Structure 1
Amino acid sequence: MNEVLYITGHKNPDTDSICAAIAYAEFKNKTGTLKAIPVRLGDINRETRFILDYFNVETPKLIETVKVQVSDLNIDTVAPVAPDISLKMAWNIMKKNNTKTLPVVDENDFLVGVATITNLFSSFMDIWDNNILSKSHTKLENILDTLSAKYVYIHDENINLSGKIVTAAMQPDSTEAIVEKGDIVICGDREDTQDAVIRCGASLIIITGNHTASEDIIEKAKTASCSIISTPYDSFTASRLITQSIPISYVMNKDNIVSFRTEDFVDDIRDVMLETRYRSYPVIDKLNKVIGTISRYHLISQNRKKVILVDHNERTQSVHGLEDAEVLEIIDHHRIADIQTGNPIYFRNEPVGSTSTIIASIFFENGIRPSKKIAGLLCAAIISDTLLFKSPTSTNVDKLMLKRLAEIADLDVENFAREMFKAGTSLNGRTVDEIFHQDFKVFTLNNLKIGISQISTMDLEGFADMKNDMISLMEKKSVENSFNLLVFMLTDILKGGSELLVVGKDKELVARAFNVKLNGHSIYVPGVLSRKKQVIPPITSAITSLK
């Protein structure tokens, strides 16, 4: 497996989740031994897009799972072979690369067959009929290579070998009795035998013992369109080796080929291997190109993907397949939830306004100065998560870090914040589904499944026409996904409050939590800006009070 460390925020990533992952990847690459790669679990929102473009930072790669896939394994990278190579060449390639399987591909590198050492041994043990070169459409170049032969006279390099194989170890009269038009004849240096073979219409003469042909024989061969080659081997060896010139396509497995794709999960291919029991299996990439082979050994030696989680520690918010990965660290500023690890890890959780505040602290605590771009990203994340310190989650540590980072990034905080919020909070041209899932998180509170979405805007009134559609979407989602409660927080940055849309069989929990009466599906709560600090705790208390 490639020694890679994935750093990821939560699903439906917000600015803090993305920026913290990118920044912590820079820190780990400066201090660690693994290659740290920031990744994301969903589409980035408009605010985050504005920030990445502003600081000219590449968007993290999207991943869907950290379950071990074939692409994570150190597969054998033996180059696939063409279907027309000889059995001898295939055997030499297998010996050179210490492999027992060769994927066979066409001119587009698409898989057409698999040649195994069993195929080769079977061909050596089989008693071929003497028309095997014709049946297998063996090329002259394969015969030359297999017999280490050289040209004496070639009538046609693309000669169609349609006859049988004959070893002319007899008197010329006897030879003429068995040689027919188009045959391939192995003979010695007797000119009378060579002459007889040409008269019979042979298509190819193979002269053994490194002998050649006389000028007279060559002239007769030209007239009869008979090609002549010379091999250093004796007649017995040449007769034994010539069948190894057969193309690999004649003996390879063509039907019901078992192959795997780079994106296949190891858990899935393990079952297939147990059922089929081949030594090796071809591996195909996303372009349908063969890139190597895989065997059971690779599954035994597999390692789990290494992951660091930032801005969350809740399983439902994390990447799919986390249970199969090795979590090395968690950096977060939310409540401690339910992610479990097999070994002790570095877990840093602080009651600050942004995970990026913690990441910045880690830089400075280790005497490392973040780059100008990374300092800018950390500034943006702190501004976003604290609503420029209007959120009750804000702390003096956030303010201190923002000041220090802004100096490195050479950033005018007030002007940047205005541009960022303006770019990120516009609702024009967006569907209710996009708005709802921009920053949506799922929680399990006392065995109740609760989902809370939040979006900040400078124009609360601009949402009015979407309200009924949003409620319909939430009701549908609540039923289809068995939520006890769904909440949509529309937070007004300017007024410093939030309108809460609520649906679900337990929606009265919100009324109890804030001690207000629901107006249909909606309430407005002034001063409530933080999902983490001002919504989750009172809902949790309301649930507890019912017991």
Structure 2
Amino acid sequence: MTTLVFGHKSPDTDSTGSPIFWSWYLNTVKGTEAKPVLLGEPNTEAAFMLQHWGLDKPEIISDVAEGQKVVIVDTNNPAELPAGINAADITAIIDHHKLVGGLETKGPIDITVRPLACTATIMVDLIGAQDMAKAPTAVKGAALTCILSDTLEFRSPTTTDHDRAVAQGLADDLGVNITEFAAQMFAAKSDVSAFSDAELIRMDSKEYEVDGTSFRVSVLETTAPEIPLGRKDSLMETFKAVQTEDGVDQVLLFVVDILKEEATLLVPNDLVKRVAEKSFGATVTGDTVVLPGVMSRKKQIIPVLKV
């Protein structure tokens, strides 16, 4: 049986590239038939990665069959995975997020969760230098793109010295100038003109519950924050439809300015105003609030949320 390798819903660059990376390893090095798949359309930066390195877009699936062998990467949260995940045969998890709980397996499995900024960094370590030397340019390129994306070119507070070293090693091997390549990546990520408001809200989004209130916590990382912020009125109006359709109490949308290293939170109501003031110590006077230094949902947003 072919093993399906996938990351979370609303796939970003890491959840698009890491399944490709790990499937190459399983197929080529381990001799295990594997196939990368996605749980939704990749975002614009991930699409850039596929085009730049000449990679085929993986098939998009909506669920997994009972007994299907799978490897889960870049998440361990059942809310971000197919509805039938606990009936599948999970053979491994490779992740860099906190343990959420709720996944069930058929037996003992390989689990690697490390405090690094990117799943691809962990994979480079697991594969080892000898086998990494066998990886084709496109696979190494995907790994590099994932790391630069998740670290925001080393600006994110989740970045470790090891992430930086692995990325630099890949870049040197590929002959890539990190600064120039990252600028291309972020330009692609910032081009959101073709997306509806609902698509923007769900593009890089995860569900979390805080003290009995369920949130869809969405992040838009961009070098052109004026583009999504210019749509703030329609975005906030669309929050209501997304909340109803997704069964959450509130949407929190953070527009992260990569270059200024700050986030702007849209504030549509008193609940979000209270969240902003209690969580970030901010003073809210309008329908947006700037949060200096806030760039990471995993490290600087989710852990501090209060209602």
Percent sequence identity is: 28
Which consecutive unaligned segments of at least 5 residues does structure 2 have?
none
For 1:48, which of 27, 37, 46 is the aligned residue? 46
State the distance in 2 between where 1:58 and 1:389 align.
Answer: 27
Summarize the alignment of residues 459-498 of structure 1 with structure 2, pairs less than 5 Å apart.
459-498=224-263
Q: What is the one-letter code of the residue matched to 2:3?
A: L
Summarize the alignment of residues 235-384 of structure 1 with structure 2, pairs less than 5 Å apart.
304-342=67-105, 343-364=107-128, 367-369=131-133, 370-384=135-149
State the distance in 1 between where 2:268 and 2:5 align.
Answer: 34
Residues 5 and 34 in structure 2, CA contact (< 8 A), matched pair in contact too: yes
What TM-score comes out, normalization by structure 2 length?
Answer: 0.93
Structure 1 match to 2:158: 393
Give the 3-state SS of the residue equivalent to 2:41 in structure 1: coil
Deviation track 1:334-360 (CA, whole Å, cap 9, x = no partner) reads: 111123223222111111111111111
Which consecutive unaligned segments of at least 5 residues does structure 1 have?
69-303
Deviation at 1:484, TM superposition (A): 3.0
State the distance in 2 between where 1:31 and 1:380 align.
Answer: 22
Deviation at 1:536, TM superposition (A): 0.3
Residues 475 and 503 in structure 1, CA contact (< 8 A), matched pair in contact too: no
Cα RMSD for the two superposed structures:
1.8
Deviation track 1:307-342 (CA, whole Å, cap 9, x = no partner) reads: 111111101111231021011111111111123223
Summarize the alignment of residues 48-447 of structure 1 with structure 2, pairs less than 5 Å apart.
48-68=46-66, 304-342=67-105, 343-364=107-128, 367-369=131-133, 370-447=135-212
State the distance in 1 between where 2:18 and 2:177 align.
Answer: 20
Structure 2 match to 1:519: 285
State the distance in 2 between where 1:522 and 1:529 align.
Answer: 16
Structure 2 match to 1:4: 2
State the distance in 1 between where 2:197 and 2:184 align.
Answer: 24
What TM-score comes out, normalization by structure 1 length?
Answer: 0.53
Deviation at 1:512, TM superposition (A): 0.4
Give the 3-state SS of the residue equivalent to 1:535 in structure 2: helix
State the distance in 2 between where 1:55 and 1:67 align.
Answer: 31
Structure 1 stretches of 4+ with a deviation exceeding 6 A read none
Distance 1:504 1:308, change over 3 A: farther
State the distance in 2 between where 1:504 and 1:359 align.
Answer: 42
Deviation track 1:76-102 (CA, whole Å, cap 9, x = no partner) reads: xxxxxxxxxxxxxxxxxxxxxxxxxxx
Q: What is the one-letter code of the residue matched to 1:348?
A: T
Residues 451 and 487 in structure 1, CA contact (< 8 A), matched pair in contact too: yes
Indicate the structure (1 or 2) with the bigger Cα radius of gyration. Answer: 1
Deviation track 1:122-171 (CA, whole Å, cap 9, x = no partner) reads: xxxxxxxxxxxxxxxxxxxxxxxxxxxxxxxxxxxxxxxxxxxxxxxxxx
Structure 2 match to 1:535: 301
Structure 2 match to 1:35: 33
Deviation at 1:446, TM superposition (A): 4.5
Distance 1:504 1:329, change over 3 A: farther
Residues 484 and 504 in structure 1, CA contact (< 8 A), matched pair in contact too: no
Distance 1:505 1:480, change over 3 A: farther
Deviation at 1:412, TM superposition (A): 1.8
Give the length in aligned residue pairs: 304
Q: What is the one-letter code of the residue matched to 2:283?
A: K
State the distance in 2 between where 1:504 and 1:58 align.
Answer: 43
State the distance in 1 between where 2:193 and 2:103 align.
Answer: 41
Deviation at 1:459, TM superposition (A): 1.5
